[in-house]
Structure 1
Amino acid sequence: MKQENGTSVDRRGSATEGASDSPSTVRNRRTFLGLAGVGIAGSLLAGSVPSSAAAASEYDDQYGTVINVVEAGADNTGSEPIDDLLVELRGDDTLLVFPPGRYLMTEQFRYTGFENFGLVGEDATIVPGTVEAVDDNVVTEGTFGGAARLFRLGVIYSPGRDLRFEGFDFDFTAENSGLRAVEAYVSDGMQVRDIDVLGQHDTGTFGPALFCVTDDDGIGTVEGFRAPDGGAFSENTVGDIDVGPTGMLVSASHSGKLWVRDCELGEFPDNGLYVSGADGRVVVEGGVYRNSNVANIRLAGDYSYVRNATVVVDDRREGHNQRGIRLDAGEHLWVYNTDVRLPEPNGNAITVLNAVDSARIQETTVTIGDRANHGVVINPYAGAVDVLDTDIEIDGGGHALQIRGRNAADDERVLVRRATIDGDASGASGRNAIRCERANCEFDDLIVDQPGPDYRRAIEIHGENCEVTGGTYVSTHHPIIDVAGAEVSDVTARSYDGFEALKLLDSSDDATIVDNELYGGYLDKGATDLSMSENSFPEW
């Protein structure tokens, strides 16, 4: 896809992807420091950086060379570009420190194959040149030129190792602003922190971030990356990327472990956080993800999870699908202690796709406004899924829990335990709060309260070999509908409008109804081999 186009073009339009980025192409760092003056060089190498770089002083002993870029000649007023100087200063075992100010960049800074390289800002703002025309993610007109990126640190065939990139603002507030702020391919030791993208990404080019840990045992961290103003659809920009930018892309080549901590992404046209491959692991801790198209968080990779995050859709874009969380592929995926709020729903809250071998949704809160979208959706060929201690409030006419399946003997089990479902959803679009079309499902100790109009029901079971054990089911219409012959035990069920608590259809074979409190009794439409025992039938 265009987000991972590997071609880089210089300002004259010639290909530069294969150009050498080794330190031998620039002056030796220690030679440069000597030219800068013995006093400055001596203090830097001793680990006593100038006061303007005090924020980076804690890292001095991690680098053989520490350079204050302003002392080295960089303009921090935003008047003169710093591109050539950065190429001159880069090197292994080197930290570039950016004192407060504004730094103009008019072309991509590209450095690959490095060892222990860092860029640290202290109230430092990166300002891109102007973008007036774009062709296939290459800026062809404007004071910025070439590939639509600012910092490209490593590539898939020549990743860096031990990268530090932190403390920068990227000023995209001008009209037709927005490039990829940072793209990093690192074998191990990636640390990206405290990055703020200011303004909307409205050029129709690469989204603001791409990250990849290339080694299976490698680890990277992205913490405090914030792009709350999102991006514009390409049809409204000078660019031509498909649909529009992704907020944060994890490359399909990612194979290590990436921590994504306390980040904020808002309203991107092509996913907020998008994990595009399933070979690595991504852990999303905390953060806010809001109003992006396709999905706000799109997760894949064995043992990947989302924990303590907030996902919000409160700005609905008509004609688009703004899911909360989409689990794409892998085993042991997990959504834990996460708040998914859809006051203006335009897609499902959490979707488990067919390529997911196993997943768990636990201690999570889902709220859905007044529109016919669903809460948790499990696709027919997905593997085993647990939904535990999760609360769903649904005011629209969709299903709080939709379990799709083939109703086959080898359907993987879905276990729903200690969940609570409430809200004022009507039955106009979806009759049931829970709709189960899969065999071998278990519903244990649920509380379902559905007082909405239009024959709203609590649970309808179409899958064979399903069990409903314990809990309370209350709804306007029949709270429990058994289509395929379920086992229902130790349940309390009641209709607000005086319907029977349980309805059995003529396709309900071998149903077992034991030790329940069924207000108003049950309605049998021709079930065969029905087993009823130890039930009570209180009046409404």
Structure 2
Amino acid sequence: MNRRRYLQALGGVGLVAAAGCNSPDRSETEDDGNTRTTDSVSPQRAENAEREDLETAPMDEDRRAVDRAAFDTVVDMVDDADCDPTGEDACDEQLRSAASDGHLLEFPEGTYRLDEFSRFQDLDRIGIVGDGDVTFAIPAETNRLLFDFDQVGEVLIEGIDIDITADQCTVGLRMMCDAFHVQDVEYVGRGNHDDTSVIDGFGVGIMDENGEGIIRNVTAKKGSIIGNYKGGNGRVGVWTTNSHAGTLWIEDCHFEEFGNNALYCSRCKGDVRVVESYFRNNNVCAIRISGKGSYATRSTIEVDMDEYTGPRGGFETGFNTRAVIVEQGNVGPKPPGAEIRDCEIHIKKTPRCQAAVNLGPQGRTLTVRDTEIRMDVDGSPAVLRSRPGSIPWKQNQRVPPTPHWIALENTAITGSARGGAAVYLVESSNSVIQNCSIEQTGANRYGIRLVNSTNLLIDGGAVTTSQFPILVDSNRLLLLNSVEVTNEPELKATEVDPSQSETFDLRLRQPMLREQHLQMVRLPETQEGRTLIGMFRE
């Protein structure tokens, strides 16, 4: 039976670790600080107040980056341009001929065959929309862009299904523009091709720093073959190019089964904001974002390979089904500060998941709050701060500048995973774990594992595990305040008066576990009188 023991401290300071211890390259600059201190659990909240307002407000479905009313001329693509709505005859030439500046190309209900690639350049404004049930049918043996909007001011795409059900068939849309709006678009069929590189669903770059792009209610339920990473050239759902400088909103979208990230949006200096979207069974990860100004909120991410019905294979190399990755490459300037807010993440069954939420070697900081994470995959952390470092096979990657912290706030971590630790932080100094509930029921599971992480605060919350709730490597001291810890069997410790001396070495013994050290240390004189308990491996 689980029994609870409270390890309490007097006063308001929390837990602290002692000091002294197919695409182009899918990059980063120094900033002037953004450091976390133990006096301020969440210092970035005040400076990010404007983004919090955006996140907490309901999604405004009437907000549009490009509106139909902005177009000078509406072209009926059947009556005016002579396109065939039955799909018998291709209408690529008619589409390109009608695509003049300021024209909104409106397709009446029907199926339209598009056999060729079309590029639109040097236009101020162009739109392609469906009126009713409109499908663009793509022929077999296709692996290319469908439309390329190159150096276009504003682009509108709306109300269209893209049929890629033919054999060896996939296409994508590329938008390099100042603003765009994509809404009510679905890829029907699996984006699959045997080529060594497969075209992405969307390649976007908002060139204007003040520009905005919206991808709303876009669906791809069979994005590609999940094991087809193809050495980094597998199909991505949304890829932000290095030129992306504005703000990209991904709202109310549904992406599944992509082989190379559902959203690969981390190698750019622009912002990426994911709102109220759903992701399932995407390889590498579902959401991949960078620093300050980028976040995911009110979204659901699931991994359950028992629910995957597509072709299998490719699980031996390049397979890693994470929910979220935060990284920053050498594109800048973009200060740290990515956030995950009010999301639900469940990693149920998969051959490999490095972590549910991973602050990668190239990542700087990450805040996760008001989020539920369930991890059922043995050995995999729910939250991982990978050791900050370079990527050996990418010469333009390097150790990211500090800070390197993670903040977990009001977050619940559950699940049946065995072995490993629920939260695993490596070289993550100045991190914060505040008011979090960690309950991992699997055998031989630690709660929080810290490696070479100093000045760490744990404040409030509860930790329930089968092994030690908190484990510190490299003899780094751990100090605890008002944290409820539970494990099975019951944690037992001797009460010690910390005023007797500076350091106490005690013995902590549990059945089926070797002896561990429990160390109690008195705080500096300015914090005298608070009882602090730390635990570390021999």
TM over 0.5: yes
Describe the SS at the equivalent of 2:160.
strand
**2:456 maps to 1:441:** yes
> Residues 228 and 260 of structure 2 are in contact (CA less than 8 Å); yes or no, is this contact kept in structure 1?
no
- Once the two structures are superposed, the pairs formed by residues 278-317 of structure 1 within 5 Å of their partners are 278-315=268-305
* TM-aligned CA distance change 1:434 to 1:84, over 3 Å: same
State the partner residue of 1:247. 237
> Residues 476 and 536 of structure 2 are in contact (CA less than 8 Å); yes or no, is this contact kept in structure 1?
no
* TM-aligned CA distance change 1:473 to 1:244, over 3 Å: same
* TM-aligned CA distance change 1:234 to 1:344, over 3 Å: closer
- Once the two structures are superposed, the pairs formed by residues 44-63 of structure 1 within 5 Å of their partners are 61-63=69-71
State the partner residue of 1:24. none
TM-superposed deviation, 1:255: 1.1
**2:421 maps to 1:399:** yes
TM-superposed deviation, 1:355: 3.2
Which of 177, 194, 206 lines up with 1:186 in the alignment?
A: 177
> Deviation per CA, 1:342-362, whole angstroms, max 9, x where unpaired?
111431100112433322100
State the partner residue of 2:476. 464
> Deviation per CA, 1:456-476, whole angstroms, max 9, x where unpaired?
221112363543210210112
RMSD (Å), alpha carbons: 3.3
TM-superposed deviation, 1:252: 2.0
TM-superposed deviation, 1:412: 3.0
Task: State TM-score, norm by structure 2.
Answer: 0.72
Separation in 1 of the partners of 2:536 and 2:226?
Answer: 54
Describe the SS at the equivalent of 1:84.
helix
Which of 485, 497, 506 lines up with 1:473 in the alignment?
A: 485
> Residues 440 and 464 of structure 1 are in contact (CA less than 8 Å); yes or no, is this contact kept in structure 2?
no
Which of 92, 110, 126 lines up with 2:119 in the alignment?
A: 110
TM-superposed deviation, 1:225: 1.3
Separation in 2 of the partners of 1:337 and 1:425?
Answer: 25
* TM-aligned CA distance change 1:166 to 1:61, over 3 Å: closer
Which of 132, 137, 141 lines up with 1:127 in the alignment?
A: 137
* TM-aligned CA distance change 1:61 to 1:353, over 3 Å: closer
Give percent identity, aligned residues only: 21
Separation in 2 of the partners of 1:387 and 1:224?
Answer: 30
Describe the SS at the equivalent of 2:97.
helix
State the partner residue of 2:517. 504
> Residues 459 and 479 of structure 1 are in contact (CA less than 8 Å); yes or no, is this contact kept in structure 2?
no
Structure 1 gap segments, 5+ residues each: 6-57, 132-138, 140-146, 406-410, 488-494, 527-540
TM-superposed deviation, 1:175: 2.2
Separation in 2 of the partners of 1:297 and 1:466?
Answer: 32
* TM-aligned CA distance change 1:84 to 1:342, over 3 Å: same
State the partner residue of 1:321. 320
Which of 75, 88, 101 lines up with 2:97 in the alignment?
A: 88
Q: Higher RCO, 1 or 2 (CA under 8 Å, sep at least 6)?
A: 2
- Once the two structures are superposed, the pairs formed by residues 226-237 of structure 1 within 5 Å of their partners are 226-232=219-225
TM-superposed deviation, 1:81: 0.7
Describe the SS at the equivalent of 1:86.
helix
> Residues 440 and 447 of structure 2 are in contact (CA less than 8 Å); yes or no, is this contact kept in structure 1?
no
**2:396 maps to 1:388:** no
* TM-aligned CA distance change 1:226 to 1:253, over 3 Å: same
Separation in 2 of the partners of 1:511 and 1:375?
Answer: 32
TM-superposed deviation, 1:435: 0.3
> Residues 94 and 116 of structure 1 are in contact (CA less than 8 Å); yes or no, is this contact kept in structure 2?
yes
State the partner residue of 2:148. 152
> Deviation per CA, 1:503-525, whole angstroms, max 9, x where unpaired?
536xx58466977799xxx9999
* TM-aligned CA distance change 1:399 to 1:218, over 3 Å: same
* TM-aligned CA distance change 1:220 to 1:496, over 3 Å: farther
> Deviation per CA, 1:89-110, whole angstroms, max 9, x where unpaired?
0111110101111110111111
1:271 maps to a residue whose letter is: N
Separation in 2 of the partners of 1:201 and 1:523?
Answer: 50
> Residues 23 and 233 of structure 2 are in contact (CA less than 8 Å); yes or no, is this contact kept in structure 1?
no
**2:392 maps to 1:373:** no
TM-superposed deviation, 1:234: 8.5
Separation in 1 of the partners of 2:187 and 2:537?
Answer: 61
Which of 166, 176, 188 lines up with 1:198 in the alignment?
A: 188
Separation in 1 of the partners of 2:187 and 2:509?
Answer: 51
Which of 77, 85, 97 lines up with 1:69 in the alignment?
A: 77
1:435 maps to a residue whose letter is: R
1:371 maps to a residue whose letter is: D
Separation in 1 of the partners of 2:155 and 2:240?
Answer: 16
* TM-aligned CA distance change 1:370 to 1:525, over 3 Å: closer
* TM-aligned CA distance change 1:496 to 1:100, over 3 Å: farther
TM-superposed deviation, 1:394: 2.7
**2:215 maps to 1:222:** yes
Which of 441, 454, 471 lines up with 1:424 in the alignment?
A: 441
> Deviation per CA, 1:153-195, whole angstroms, max 9, x where unpaired?
12xxxx1112111111011122222111x111112x2111111
2:202 maps to a residue whose letter is: A
> Residues 164 and 190 of structure 1 are in contact (CA less than 8 Å); yes or no, is this contact kept in structure 2?
yes
2:482 maps to a residue whose letter is: G
> Residues 522 and 531 of structure 2 are in contact (CA less than 8 Å); yes or no, is this contact kept in structure 1?
no
